[in-house]
Amino acid sequence: MERKRILVFGAGVIGSIYGGLLAESGADVTLLARGKRLSELREQGLALQKVSCKEGATHEVLHPSVHLIEVLTPDDVYDYIFVTLRAEQVAEALPQLAANASPTFVFMINNAHGYTAWEQALGKGRVLPAFPGAGGSIKEGIVQYGIVQQQVQPTVLGEIDGTLSPRLYTLQRLLREAGFCTTIQRNMDAWQKTHLALVCPLACALYYDGGNNYSLANNRKALLLTGKSIRENLSFLKRAGIDITPRRVAALRFIPKGLMCDLLNNIFASRWAETFVLEHSLKARTEMLYLTEQLLDLAQQRGFALSSLQTLLGSMPLVEKNRV
């Protein structure tokens, strides 16, 4: 396959993982970074280290070869531009993205309001929604990461209109060659709303308990409220005519509260939760609150009140909520 030219717009944890592993697999990768992260990359280069969630073992540190830029110019064209910003940062970046002539922008960002604003800014057909199946943290300049298993949450991608386009299959092949588990969704909008219905309560539960997944695992009151919120959120999607995607998630609506509590206990008591839930929830607290407010707003627009999620969110100090 022809070597693809890829820009990763945002060099945080997710951007570094995807950019680095794509570069390792042979793609021509450029990272757009700013501020402290740009200085760090210029001084130390990109460094990735895979960490096993089961035993905590680490692998050798990789140093992928990538280009670095600070500004995207209109005529700097790439086969794919991966947008790996936080949700609340997208609006500010849209004018710079829209001015660029590249054909495909892969937005690896969740949102509850769909893709209309992104398409209006960039033009119809240039937005390809996706969601990462990886996570981790940056420690002393090294991105320590894990890749989520296929059966849990692979990297998800799809066209807005649900078509199975050549660029979609090419992107999937690129990601698989880079070591990412991937799946194509025909209804990305429904998938992302379902994802928010699950992860917003998980993140808010961490804040509710104080910011430690192992402590949360033993807080039965918080777990019961979190389980209730998940059931309420999924019921809202169902009643609002939004497909619960993937369909197996719909079964969570009917799990007895005691069993749901046990399930959440097992999740939060794991190193998996520390790597893929806690790290992001704490580092991207502003984003998670922004997305939670979006989900609550969507429900309100449809005539629903997500009371348990409101309770979890309302437990947070006012100074935290004012950061959104």
pLDDT tens per residue across span 29-55: 999 999 999 999 999 999 999 987 665
The answer on pLDDT for 302 being more than 60 is: yes
The answer on pLDDT for 1 being more than 70 is: no
Instruction: Report the pLDDT averaged over residues 250-258.
Output: 93
Nearest to 155 by CA among 171, 136, 131, 127: 131
The reply to whether 320 falls in a domain is: no
Same domain, yes or no: 148 and 204: no
Q: 3-state DSSP call for residue 57?
A: coil
The pLDDT assigned to 316 comes to: 54
pLDDT confidence tier of residue 184, bands split at 50, 70 and 90: very high
Instruction: Report the pLDDT averaged over residues 102-122.
Output: 96
The pLDDT assigned to 279 comes to: 76
User: What average pLDDT does the structure give for the chain?
Assistant: 92
The answer on pLDDT for 14 being more than 80 is: yes
Q: Record the pTM.
A: 0.92
Distance of CA 254 to the CA centre of its chain: 26
Same domain, yes or no: 179 and 209: no
Same domain, yes or no: 258 and 275: yes
Domain count, the chain: 2
Listed residues 133, 163, 185: the one ending a domain: 185
Q: 3-state DSSP call for residue 196?
A: helix
Instruction: Tell me the C-alpha distance between 248 and 252, whole Å.
Output: 8
Nearest to 214 by CA among 255, 272, 259, 144: 272
- Domain residue limits at 254: 190-315
The 10s digit of each residue's pLDDT in 156-172 is: 999 999 999 999 999 99
The reply to whether 61 falls in a domain is: yes
Q: Are 277 and 202 in contact (CB under 8 A)?
A: yes
Same domain, yes or no: 172 and 46: yes
Same domain, yes or no: 208 and 102: no
Same domain, yes or no: 34 and 77: yes
